[in-house]
Structure formats: C-alpha cells, structure tokens
Amino acid sequence: MAYVVERLAALAQEFNFDAMPTDVVDKAKILLLDSLGCALGGFTSKPAKIIRSVVRTMGGNGEATLLVSGERSSALGTTWVNGTAIRYLDYNDTYFARDPSHPSGNVAPGLALAERQGLSGREFIAALALAYEVQIRLSECAGKPNLWNRGWDHATNVPYAAAALSAKLLGLSTEQTAHALAIAGSQSNALSEIRRGVIPMTKAIAEAKAAGDGVLAALMAREGMTGPLRIFEGDYGYINIIASEVDVEALTAPLSDYKILKSTVKNYAIETMTLGPVDAALELRREHRFDPLQIDKVVVGLYEYAFKKPSWDKLKLTPTTRETADHSFNYCVAVALLDGNVGPEQFTDERIRSADVRDLMSRVDLTVDSALEGLYPSTFPGITTIHMRDGRVLTKRIDYPRGHPRNPMSRARLEEKFRLMAQEWMTPAAIDSAIAAVWAFDTVNDIREFMQLFVSTRAQ
C-alpha cells in the first residue's frame, strides 16, 4: 500500500478548477478578500515590521509583491511577510475539530508562488482549496486527543498544507509532491508553549514560518530533493511521535465534499472560542440599550474544554498585551459591552490598560455551562448573562457565531470588514476596485497586476 504522503499527493491531483462547484469558488474568493483585509490591518504591527526588516536584509530575487509597501522579495520572503500581516490581528479565518486551525495561512504562499510562476486566479483557487483540504483533514483526523494538548501547536499541520499548495502551483508530479510533503513534515513542528501565559509576538509568525517551510520543501522537491516518505507511519514519524493517533483512511480518502466550506470567517478580531460569548454580549447591548456603567457583574457560560485548552491560563484573566487580550474571555466580553465593538481598535495598549475595561473585566465570571457541552468543536458557543445594578438579569445564548458556515456573513459585512482595514492605505475608489477584482478573481490572468491593487503610496 502507498505511504500516506503518496496518497495525499494523489489526492492533490483531484483538485481542478473546472470541476469545482460554484460555492467552493465563492468561498475561496471570500477567504481571499478576508485575508487581504487582515494583511492590510496587520501591516503596521511590530511583528510585521520586524519580519519585513529581516527579509529586506536577506535580499533575494524579486519574485513576488509585499502587500501595502509594494516591495518585491523571494516567494519565501513574501510568504513570511504577508503571512505575518494576515495573522497578526487574529482576525483571519478559523476552523476547529480535534485541533484548531487558521487555514488562510496558505493565502500568502499561494499568492507568492502564483505570482512567481505567472499563474492565473483559477490556478490559485484550485491550489488554495487543496491546502484547505489537507490542513482541515489533519485537524479532523490526527491527535489523541489532539495535537494541542500533546504539546504541539496547530502550526504543526501547516507545512503539509502549504507543501501541497506549493507543489500544485509549481506543477510537481505526484512523486515530487509526496517528497515535498515528506520534506516539509520532517522539519517543521511547533510547540504549544507559544500561546501560554503572556503570549509573545512569535504567535503572529508561527503559521507564516510554517507555510514558508512548505514553500521551501516544494522548491527543493522540484530540484530532486527527497524526503522520508514514511514521515507519517514511520517509527519516529508524525503518527507515533506527534499525534499518537491518525485516522489514515479519512485523511487520505478521495475527494467528496470540500473542506474549505467549513471555515469560519471571523466577525471580531479575537480568538475563536471568544466569538460566541462576544456575539451574545453585543446582541444584549443592542437589544436592551443599557448603560454599561450600570453593570454589576457578567457571567460567561462556556464548555469544559474552554478551560482545558493550552492557550487558557490565569494570565488571560488580566491581560496586559494585545496578543494575550484577544485570548481573554474576560477582556473581550468587557470591551464588547463597553464599546459595542471588538475590532482592532479595541486592542491598543491604551484601551487594554484603561480603567473602565479593567474594572468591568474584574467582574466577569467564567463558568462551565452543561447546556453547551457537546456542541464544541463543531461550533464554539457561549452564554452571556448580565446582572444589572437595578436587579435586571439579561441573558443571551449563541450557538453559531456570525461568520460560522451555519450563520455566514453577508457580502455587505465582508466588504465592510475589508474597507475598515483598507481605509488607512487606500482611497475609497481604490478599495472599490480591489473588492471588485477579488469577486472576479477567477478571471484574473496576471497575479502580479492583481497584487498592485493592494499596494499603497501612503506606505512609502
């Protein structure tokens, strides 16, 4: 029987734009627009500035375009830079199964290699759908009980997806693709410690670095480099050392439904499990129009795993940094009730340290609510109950946060989210042109020309 990477390489051959249903193509466009918006929003972040500086220092062929600045770098350097900007705000898409994932980490390498190779939007979409397939299958099929609690960050699965995507865009054979997957997987495992305690800036670069490993692996495989084809089933491979358990048949099954359709587009710039309680808090605020300063206390009902995930610990109760605040149920619910929004502007140092947020945050209690058990990980629900000083008790339960496939965002909201993140860099007319180009991405023949729509003279 063929090795796992050989079976995954054969699966890659099934991805052809002409065979893709309309809803799959539409979802790819949605995720592209969302990811580009997140990159524009994350451009000025410190991690993005650092990695841009590093890539400039390294030099390299001008194969692809850096978003906003318009500088050119190698496909690998461009993956690191654009991927870090996409991820920084924790606003890009999400998916949960055994493990979490942010499969839009594959957008940066996809655009970089498609530009490098002179490919079309249709070829990019097919490769992106393949990357989502591989990454989400790994999230669903691997780990006992998951990778996360075994000490491995979910970025560990990214190199396989990025290698598959890169192999597709580079036109590798099935054999070369198998070696690309093997090379990538043998050298790219991330530790859960990057999300413990005060979350460091490296959280923002974890998936971009891992995606770059997939790009590099495919480039090496193209030149004839070989990898350990038993990387999954070998004595010291992914199954035995990393995951402990993998449903190999489900992981390598022929294509049926497309996993890309399962991805959730985030409506708020926060960690996935906070989406439900924040949605509930904001709905209560809209429905009852209360004065947030008259709140006595808030009770947030969650499911048991919310308190067992590796990224949850007592330091999330009183966050002091942006990276930690967006993982804090207490902070996200408190600022939602006070501001009526949870976007990038809610995560400045000044807002995180402000007295009103710190006060309300201290009166947010977290509890396990048995009514929510069994819903996670197919969704990430929450119950927010507000106790007012006048004796009123207001409660709201959200099972499917806005942006979940069962509660999708409208096109108008998707465009609004993009506009808010693009407005610093682009004129309203330029934003309109960029949005229109994404919705027509399957007609794009020149990715380099397309990328120029997301370059700003204001960044010079």
What is the residue whose two structure tokens read 């999330």? 316
Q: How many CB atoms lie within 10 A of CB 7?
A: 18
The amino acid at residue 349 is D
Go through 351-370 and write b for each residue having 16 or more CB atoms within 10 A of its CB, e for each that does not: bbeeeebeebbeebebeebe
The amino acid at residue 432 is D
Task: For the chain, list the domains and their CATH numbers.
Answer: 4-262 (1.10.4100.10), 272-398 (3.30.1330.120)
User: Distance between CA atoms of 338 and 294, rounded to whole angstroms?
Assistant: 11
What is the pLDDT, as a whole number, of residue 460?
Answer: 56
Distances (CA, A) of 162 to 68, 168, 218: 23, 10, 9
What is the pLDDT, as a whole number, of residue 457?
Answer: 82
User: Distance between CA atoms of 376 and 378, rounded to whole angstroms?
Assistant: 5
| pTM, full prediction | 0.96
Distances (CA, A) of 302 to 7, 270, 276, 392, 411: 39, 16, 9, 22, 30
What is the pLDDT, as a whole number, of residue 62?
Answer: 95
Distances (CA, A) of 338 to 92, 103, 360, 373, 425: 24, 32, 9, 29, 28
Here the tokens at position 410 are: 């409208």
What is the pLDDT, as a whole number, of residue 188?
Answer: 86
Q: How many CB atoms lie within 10 A of CB 290?
A: 17
pLDDT in tens, the chain (460 residues): 699 999 999 999 999 999 999 999 999 999 999 999 999 999 999 999 999 999 999 998 999 999 999 999 999 999 999 999 999 999 999 999 999 999 999 999 999 999 999 999 999 999 999 999 999 999 999 999 999 999 999 999 999 999 999 999 999 999 999 999 999 999 889 998 988 888 888 889 999 999 999 999 999 999 999 999 999 999 999 999 999 999 999 999 999 999 999 999 999 999 999 999 999 999 999 999 999 999 999 999 999 999 998 889 898 999 999 999 999 999 999 999 999 999 999 999 999 999 999 999 999 999 999 999 999 999 999 999 999 999 999 999 999 999 999 999 999 999 999 999 999 999 999 999 999 999 999 999 999 999 999 999 887 5
Q: For helices 4-12 and 121-141, what crossing angle results, to 10°? A: 150
Distances (CA, A) of 100 to 168, 325, 381: 24, 19, 15
Distances (CA, A) of 298 to 83, 275, 319, 382, 399: 36, 16, 18, 13, 19
- Which residues are 297's β-sheet partners? 387
What is the residue whose two structure tokens read 């506009």? 419
